[in-house]
Structure 1
Amino acid sequence: MAQTLETLARRTTSMQGIRSVVHTMKTLSVINSAPYEHAARAIEAYHDTVLEGLHAFLSQSGPLQTETPGAGARVMVVFGSDHGLCGNYNEALAGHVGRQINADADHATTVLCVGAQMADALADQGLRVKKTFFPPASVDGIGRLANLLTQKLDDIRRDSHPHDVAVTLAYFARGEGGTQAAEIAALLPLDPALIAELQAKPWVSRSLPYFSMPRGDLFMSLIRGYLFASLFRASAEALVTENAARLALMQQAEQSVDEQLEDLKSETRALRQSEITTELLDVIIGFEALKKDKRSKTGSDDGTGKPPD
């Protein structure tokens, strides 16, 4: 189909509008990533405080015996995205989760999901989602989500009593060199290596820690704080990687749009040159025709070749 200058102009204007949208989305991805990165770093201080509290508890209560999950519930919390424009973010993580759960098919796993699109991706893997939570729309929403997840896990733990609950988190985490990889991390029961490290770690202060509340209540309070900090950090990390994935996709789209704009400019220049050449040829042909017509009118009609008197 032959292109016209008007058609190319409309296509160029449309492509420039698309580029403007892509550039805006790329800028927003960069801007949105910063608060989530700050939130992920900030929760580390709270997480360290909880671990220090657990260290103080263990230093005064003696060795901690944790029950290996048997008939208790197995829960996996999956952090996805509902904001779109981040490629196969949900599908890739859902594939990792599906392989992880199918590898341990002998035990039923309750799946809690963050994001309706992630719930659809998990359904495509044949996984049934127990409950879906709305993802945070801003940094302020991360605490809300972590609280809701902590309460839900607490409810599951009470229903599973007296057995412990095995909780696993699934989310995309940042890797080296700006890469990202699916992270499937066991959260509960507490890692025996972590417990052993805290128990072996000496209490450096001359003031020994003291608590008056019941031992079990204090331990559960520390576990809730540990859950909240871990869920908060996983949510913030997932939002950082989501924006990083969107940024990478927008950079690719921007490059593709720039290439198409350059092609359109080349086509426009070529078509404009072709039309100018055609118009010049029309002028030359018309000029030559006028000259020929003028010579024929001023020529002799008596056959002598002389102009008439």
Structure 2
Amino acid sequence: MAQTLEILSRRTTSMQGIRSVVHTMKTLSVINSAPYEQAAKAIETYHDTVLEGLHAFVTHFGPIKTPASDHPVQVLIVFGSDHGLCGNYNEALADHVAGFLPQREDGPPTVLCVGAQMADALTDQHIAIEETFFPAASVDGVGRLANLLTQRLETIRTRAEPQDIAVSLAYVARDGAAGQRALIVPLLPLDQAVLDDLAAKPWTSRSRPYFSMPANDLFRTLVRNHLFATLFRAIAEALMTENAARLALMQQAERSVDEKLEELASETRTVRQDQITTELLDVIIGFEALKKDKGDPPEE
């Protein structure tokens, strides 16, 4: 259906407004990703310090064997988004979690969810959620959320006694050239391979490590800091990949909007040219009619 210049002008203005919003969202995604990436690098250094503390602990007290529990209380923390405009980010992770749960022989775990959009995606997969947390809105909020989750795990552990708890983390992580992929990684109990590697690692200092704290209190403090650092890293990684997914979607939307603007510009030029041609034809026809009227002989 032919459209007037006025309609095309309104559509072009609306599309330019949409492009402005898309460009703003794309810019915000780039800006938001950088602080989370820096926070992830910083917490890796902190985590290395915690692991060095564990190394000193096992050097002083000897190898540690994590107790094996037949039926630990299973806990799964799923890190998702609280906002949209990031494609199927939450749905893909929820689908991965849904495929992971039936493989467990010890029944469904206690699920803690981060992000309202993630909670909706898990509910669509018929996964029961015990509690939903607000995701971090800034880098400062990453530490707050990591502390909150650490405290929540401590509450679950106290409630589960004398049973142990086994905690896993589900989040979307970067995967080099592949972009992103959903991961489910164990958090508790501590990986025995990591403890064995620390015990086998030589102590390079001239003096042996010495501690003034009681051994049990020191070990609990080190484990708590290990949990905090790992949760902090998972939160930062999830926020980075969320913004990366939003950036990719906004880039695709920006290309689509630019193509539509080009179509509207081409259609506007065509309609304007048709109008100019019609007006020129009207002038020519009028001029020819006037010439013809002037050339007729006068009536007597």
Pairwise TM-score range, normalised by the shorter structure: over 0.9
CA contact (8 A) 1:113 1:132 kept: yes
Give 2:85's aligned residue: 85
Counterpart AA for 1:220:
R
Give the deviation of 1:175 after TM superposition. Answer: 1.1
CA contact (8 A) 1:32 1:243 kept: yes
Give the deviation of 1:82 after TM superposition. Answer: 0.8
Give 2:46's aligned residue: 46
Give 1:2's aligned residue: 2
CA contact (8 A) 2:157 2:165 kept: yes
CA distance in 1 between counterparts of 2:19 and 2:208 reads 63
CA contact (8 A) 2:59 2:199 kept: yes
Give 2:272's aligned residue: 272
Query: Helix, strand or coil for the counterpart of 2:130?
Result: strand
CA distance in 1 between counterparts of 2:219 and 2:99 reads 34
For residues 192-221 of structure 1, give each alpha carbon's deviation from its aligned partner in whole angstroms, at most 9, with x where no partner exists.
211110110011111111123222221111
For residues 35-80 of structure 1, give each alpha carbon's deviation from its aligned partner in whole angstroms, at most 9, with x where no partner exists.
0000000001110011011111111122212122322211111100
For residues 116-155 of structure 1, give each alpha carbon's deviation from its aligned partner in whole angstroms, at most 9, with x where no partner exists.
1111111111111111110011000000000000000011
- Name which of structure 1's ranges 19-28 and 176-185 shifts more when overlaid on structure 2: 176-185
Give the deviation of 1:184 after TM superposition. Answer: 1.0
Report how many aligned residue pairs link the two structures: 300
Give 1:16's aligned residue: 16
CA contact (8 A) 2:65 2:192 kept: no
The within-5 A match list for 1:177-196 is 177=177, 179-196=179-196
Give the deviation of 1:178 after TM superposition. Answer: 6.6
TM-score scaled by length of structure 1: 0.94
CA contact (8 A) 1:81 1:118 kept: yes
Ranges in structure 1 where 5+ consecutive residues have no aligned partner = 302-307
CA distance in 2 between counterparts of 1:162 and 1:52 reads 30
CA contact (8 A) 1:72 1:161 kept: no
CA contact (8 A) 1:172 1:182 kept: yes
Give 2:119's aligned residue: 119
The within-5 A match list for 1:98-247 is 98-177=98-177, 179-247=179-247
CA contact (8 A) 1:150 1:228 kept: yes
Query: Helix, strand or coil for the counterpart of 1:129?
Result: coil
CA contact (8 A) 1:70 1:163 kept: no
CA contact (8 A) 1:46 1:229 kept: yes
The within-5 A match list for 1:47-66 is 47-66=47-66
CA distance in 1 between counterparts of 2:4 and 2:196 reads 76
CA contact (8 A) 1:171 1:182 kept: yes
Counterpart AA for 2:289:
A
CA contact (8 A) 2:71 2:106 kept: no
Identity of aligned residues (%): 69
- Name which of structure 1's ranges 63-72 and 25-34 shifts more when overlaid on structure 2: 63-72
Counterpart AA for 2:252:
Q
Give the deviation of 1:287 after TM superposition. Answer: 1.2
CA distance in 2 between counterparts of 1:278 and 1:102 reads 70
CA contact (8 A) 1:80 1:114 kept: yes
For residues 230-264 of structure 1, give each alpha carbon's deviation from its aligned partner in whole angstroms, at most 9, with x where no partner exists.
00000001111111111111100100000000000
Counterpart AA for 2:147:
N
CA distance in 2 between counterparts of 1:252 and 1:129 reads 33
- Name which of structure 1's ranges 36-45 and 103-112 shifts more when overlaid on structure 2: 103-112
Give 2:68's aligned residue: 68
CA distance in 2 between counterparts of 1:89 and 1:245 reads 7
Counterpart AA for 1:147:
N
For residues 248-293 of structure 1, give each alpha carbon's deviation from its aligned partner in whole angstroms, at most 9, with x where no partner exists.
1110010000000000000000000111111111111111111222
CA distance in 2 between counterparts of 1:282 and 1:139 reads 67
CA contact (8 A) 1:69 1:166 kept: no
Cα pair distance change 1:52/1:234, threshold 3 Å: same
- Name which of structure 1's ranges 170-179 and 44-53 shifts more when overlaid on structure 2: 170-179
Query: Helix, strand or coil for the counterpart of 2:136?
Result: coil
Give the deviation of 1:105 after TM superposition. Answer: 4.8
Query: Is the radius of gyration larger for structure 1 or structure 2?
Result: 1
- Name which of structure 1's ranges 159-168 and 189-198 shifts more when overlaid on structure 2: 159-168
Counterpart AA for 1:7:
I
Ranges in structure 2 where 5+ consecutive residues have no aligned partner = none
